[in-house]
Amino acid sequence: MGKTFKIYAVIFIIILVVMGLFEMNKKPVLDWRKNYDTGKKSPFGLYIFDQESNHLFKNKLEKTRISPYAYYQKNKKQAHNILIIQKELDEVSWQYIMNEVSKGSDVMWLTNKTTAKLRDTLGFRFKTVSFKDNYYLQLTDKKLGNNRLFIDKFPDNKGFSYIREDIEVLGKTLYKSSNQADAINADFIKVNFGKGHFYIHSEPLILTNYYLLQSKNQYIESVFSYLPDRETVWFMENDAPLSMSPMRFILSNPPLKSAWYLLLFGLLIFVIFNAKRKQRIVPIKEPLKNTSVDFIRSIGNLYLQEGDFHEMMAKKAQYFLNKVRMDLMIDTQHLDEPFIHKLQLKTGKNIEKIREAVSLIKKGQDPYASVMKEDLIRMNKILDDILK
């Protein structure tokens, strides 16, 4: 294990320990997002309502997670109730719902956003009625007037405006300084449509976990009391596909998820800094030089400086005869007329030039012969020309 790896490992362990200490001392943070999810126990989830809904609707509730279009394609029903909580539906699904309402069904719809086309069809508009952070919701029926719900956490401050004259206001928004209500303060309305009705409430927060636990009266039961006592179909949010990943437990827990991503980040850093293969530096070695030429040049210069032309002719003759034996396969023991003819046949050179070369070779081999510089130059030229 290298020294660098040990340093990275120690740093990584220290970071994990520090993060662990922070996680141990960190207080749980509530999720205040308005998710309207039946599986969430956060303040603005619908977990409690989902658990109590069968009791609220006297065990006449059917829950479905398919679209109204798909549901009514498969199911032909008599007049019934329809429950929709802050759910966005496609235009075809709304057409099927309106068809059911026109035949006598009733819709309890809790929402504060719709399409312009749907608002025009039903004859109402949404409007921000206040920028205050708390207010009361109260029903207009005097028998139910005491059932108020106090909205004090992240209200949407939505109400209805431009309401048609035939639309009935069932609920209103009241502030601590006022007990008066008019169309602008309406938050719960009844819209007649064919043989049925739309009951629309602009504050879907009333069904979330937080307000169900805070409610000390029967405001929510009173809202649903407008629906006839019959079967109710609740179109819930579509199911999210269950993750089958082996990491689903880790990724579903924020502390484990943070630790997992930190581990991956640490491994990535480690790989980046250790990707190159570690090895000792290989020293650069120069290739061996061929010094034969330099050696020969040096020897030649030595002979030239000494003026020993005879010895140089002898060396040149010895080199030439060795080449003839090795390359031309001619016996060089006797430099006579047969040797001259064989060399002429093998090289194709002029016979007179070959006789001159043999004469110079014999002169170089004779230790008593007088040799001049010009003899060496002439011999070197002729021999090189013969072997060319």
Q: Are 218 and 147 in contact (CB under 8 A)?
A: yes
The listed range with the strongest mean pLDDT (15-29, 46-60, 152-166) is 46-60
* Beta strand pairing call for 106-110 and 81-85: parallel
Q: How far apart are CA 163 and CA 144, in angstroms?
A: 23
DSSP one-letter string for 60-76: -EEEE-S-HHHHHHH--
Q: How far apart are CA 171 and CA 187, in angstroms?
A: 6
What mean pLDDT do residues 243-271 have?
A: 72
Least reliable range by pLDDT among 1-15, 116-130, 143-157, 202-216? 1-15
User: For residues 300 and 97, which has the higher predicted lDDT (pLDDT)?
Assistant: 97
pLDDT digits over 339-352, tens only? 888 888 888 888 88
What residues form DSSP beta bridges with 141? none
Q: What pLDDT is recorded for position 51? A: 93
Three-state SS string over 263-281 comes to: HHHHHHHHHHHHCCCCCCC
pLDDT digits over 211-220, tens only? 998 877 789 9
Q: What pLDDT is recorded for position 277? A: 55
pTM of the complete model: 0.57
Q: How far apart are CA 105 and CA 198, in angstroms?
A: 9
3-state helix, strand, coil in the chain (%, to 5): 45, 15, 40
Q: What pLDDT is recorded for position 371? A: 77
Pair of tokens at residue 270: 């480690």
Q: If you search the block for the tokens 């929510």, which residue do you land on?
A: 220
Q: What pLDDT is recorded for position 303? A: 61
